[in-house]
Amino acid sequence: MSEVMSSLRPLGWSDQLETEFEPLRADGLAPARVVAQYRGAYVVHGAGGEAWAEISGRLRHEATTPADFPAVGDWVGVRLRPEGDGAVVHSVLPRRTVFSRKTPWTETVEQVVAANVDVAFLVTTLTDELSTRRLERYLTTAWESGAEPVIVLNKADLCADPLPFVAEVEAVAIAVPVVVTSAETGAGVEELRAWLPPGRTGALLGSSGVGKSSLVNQLVGEERQLTREIRSDGVRGRHTTTHRELVPLPDGGLLLDTPGMRELQLWEADDGFDATFQDVAALAADCRFTDCAHETEPGCAVQEAIAEGTLAGERLQSYRKLQSELAHLERRLDKRLRAEERKKWRTFARSRRKTAW
């Protein structure tokens, strides 16, 4: 790997990306990572440092959905303008992981909120706000993105005994690491940092007030204030002061902190299942068969209640919807566990081969 390439290593550049990039390099493009995004403009970080960038007319023309445009965290192929007048993005490399959301005005258009996040810190607190249902939703979001989830139980300083909380969380989050932190005292912050060695990108997700910003400040320290400003020479005066959204940590990794990521929490608006389905669950306990699907089974107390009008049919529908979401989550967990088993096996098989030689 050339010297230029190794300067991109701390940003997450890898041999595999280097290989993927070869055809673009042949076209005269240079690799860079999107570190901030604004209406119509980007800040990219390449081997020569940061530059403002716009997307090429062709990229804009050929984009068929918003997801085809670069997002924070993306690796892109750029061409520098002469005389330090910024860069032009010509190509977006395939994404390893994607956090996306549906645009509010249409159900089907996907908007990429963040690309290539390696670790998703799912932050909640060690106080009675802890909701395992909500955590399941965040887990689903993390699995779907492709990022590795790490559960963070913050505000440890307010909790006399974290162990029951940890046990409760571990019961719903099989094989997911759990870290107990206090952004107030700094406890556990080093353990968090250990997930973000040079080249790795993390992001924090969680409801408002759980301590995400406080944890970011702990992780980034003074650095954030110092590195925030991006020089705006040659940018036609539009962007004067702004901040980067892919923030380097003092010891190597990167933290992705975008407004879009913070808005992901809006997804939990339809949360609150904890108490919501107590009625259905109580009825189901009276069904004749313990594995009753509440469809056409004889002696189904749920269907009886619907027939009598004491339970609304829609209640059963939304109950089912939640159930299938949870089943989906479990399947994903299973899939991931199996994948991890396979990986372990492969590593084992490889090391065996080596010793045999």
- To ligand GDP, the closest distance from the beta carbon of 95 in angstroms equals 26
Q: Does 112 bind ligand GDP (CB under 6 A)?
A: no
Q: Which does 302 bind (CB under 5 to 8 A by kind): Zn ion, ligand GDP, none?
A: Zn ion
Report if residue 311 touches Zn ion, rule: CB under 5 A. no
Task: List the single partner that 287 binds among Zn ion, ligand GDP, none, CB under 5 to 8 Å by kind.
Answer: Zn ion
Q: Indicate the residue among 256 and 287 with the shorter CB distance to Zn ion.
A: 287
Residue nearest to ligand GDP (CB): 211
| 212 binds, options Zn ion, ligand GDP, none, Cβ within 5 to 8 A by partner type | ligand GDP
Residue 182 or 303 having the CB closest to ligand GDP:
182
221 binds, among ligand GDP, Zn ion, none (CB under 5 to 8 A by kind): none
Q: Tell me the one-letter amino acid at 77.
A: G
Q: What is the separation, in whole angstroms, between the first and last Cα of the chain?
A: 29
Sole binder of Zn ion in the list 29, 302, 306, 311 (CB under 5 A): 302
For residue 244, state whether it binds Zn ion (rule: CB under 5 A): no
Q: Which of residues 122-151 bind ligand GDP (CB under 6 A)?
A: none
Task: Please give the structure tokens belonging to residue 123.
Answer: 């932050």
Rounded Cα–Cα distance for residues 336 and 127 (Å): 29
Is there binding between residue 212 and ligand GDP (CB under 6 A)?
yes
Examine residue 283 and tell whether it contacts Zn ion (CB under 5 A): no
CB of 357 to ligand GDP, least distance (A): 52
Cβ 299 to Zn ion shortest distance, Å: 8
Query: Six-digit token pair at 296?
Result: 């056409």
Residue 191 CB, shortest distance to ligand GDP, in Å, is 14
Asked if 56 touches ligand GDP (CB under 6 A), the answer is no
Piece of 51-59, 82-90, 208-216, 291-299 that binds ligand GDP (CB under 6 A): 208-216
CB atoms within 10 A of CB 90: 19
Token code pair at residue 146: 């492709």
Q: Which stretch binds ligand GDP (CB under 6 A): 81-89, 179-187, 194-202, 332-340?
A: 179-187
> Given candidates 1, 4, 63, 158, which one binds ligand GDP under the rule CB under 6 A?
158
The answer to whether 152 contacts Zn ion (rule: CB under 5 A) is no
Applying CB under 6 A, the residues found at the interface with ligand GDP are 154-155, 157-158, 182-184, 206, 208-214
Name the site residues for Zn ion (rule: CB under 5 A).
Answer: 287, 292, 294, 300, 302
